[in-house]
Amino acid sequence: MKKQLLSSVAAAAIILGGTYGINEIRSGTAEAASAVQQTQSKTLIGVAKAEEIALKAAPGQVESIDLEKKLSGTYYDIDIQQKNQEIDVRVDAYTGKVLSVRKETDNNDDDDHYTSSSAASGAALITAAKAAEAATAKVAGKVTDVDLDRDDGTAVYEVEIRNGRTSTEVGVDAYTGKVLYTDVDSDDDDNDGYDD
């Protein structure tokens, strides 16, 4: 009888303890889900605002803007060219807070020799934000990357736009803002039904 009573008490303790543990896990999961939902409900500041903030931190010519998603958070990584150095500015994608400003010496002179007719006439480059605006007027989606490419005597902003499983690169003339090309790339390139 004592053994049966002791077994019943032990079983009850295990059941109650398990129930308590499950409830603690559920409440922790609910809190975590709430935190994730709050983070997801925030809106991105956008490429234009990120560029504006970065240029206040480090004036110069924006060479690229990348939207980065890391475990530490989501931020815009902006590369700015100043004479013989490149400045890397990271801006929180939701708050607009400058997270870091790093300087790198740039001894690479090959980007300085481009000779398009607009460059030769002294025309100024449009901003990365204007290039992103021109690209999103042509292709719907979220801008994830803007790079200034100075090759073959021209200057072109290459703007990457994500819309669901589709990524589109839009080439924008860096002097006129005219869309030069679009290149659509689906995550399922070989049409086999699986992501590549």
Residues 146-172 have pLDDT tens digits of: 999 988 788 999 999 999 999 999 999
Q: Residue 33: its pLDDT value, please?
A: 46
| Domain-embedded: residue 126 | yes
Write out pLDDT tens, residues 34-65. 444 444 558 999 999 999 999 999 999 999 99
Q: Which residues contact 114 (CB under 8 A, 6 or more apart)?
A: 150, 151, 153, 154, 155
125 and 90 together in one domain: yes
Domain count, the chain: 2
Domain of residue 71, residue span: 47-186
| Domain-embedded: residue 174 | yes
Cβ atoms < 10 Å from Cβ of 181 = 10
69 and 2 together in one domain: no
pTM over 0.75: no
State which of 9, 26, 41 marks the end of a domain. 41
| Domain-embedded: residue 173 | yes
Q: How confident is the model at residue 93 (pLDDT cuts 50, 70, 90)?
A: very high
Please give the average per-residue pLDDT across 112-119, as a whole number: 46
97 and 175 together in one domain: yes
CATH number at residue 91: 3.10.450.40
Please give the average per-residue pLDDT across 3-28, as a whole number: 55
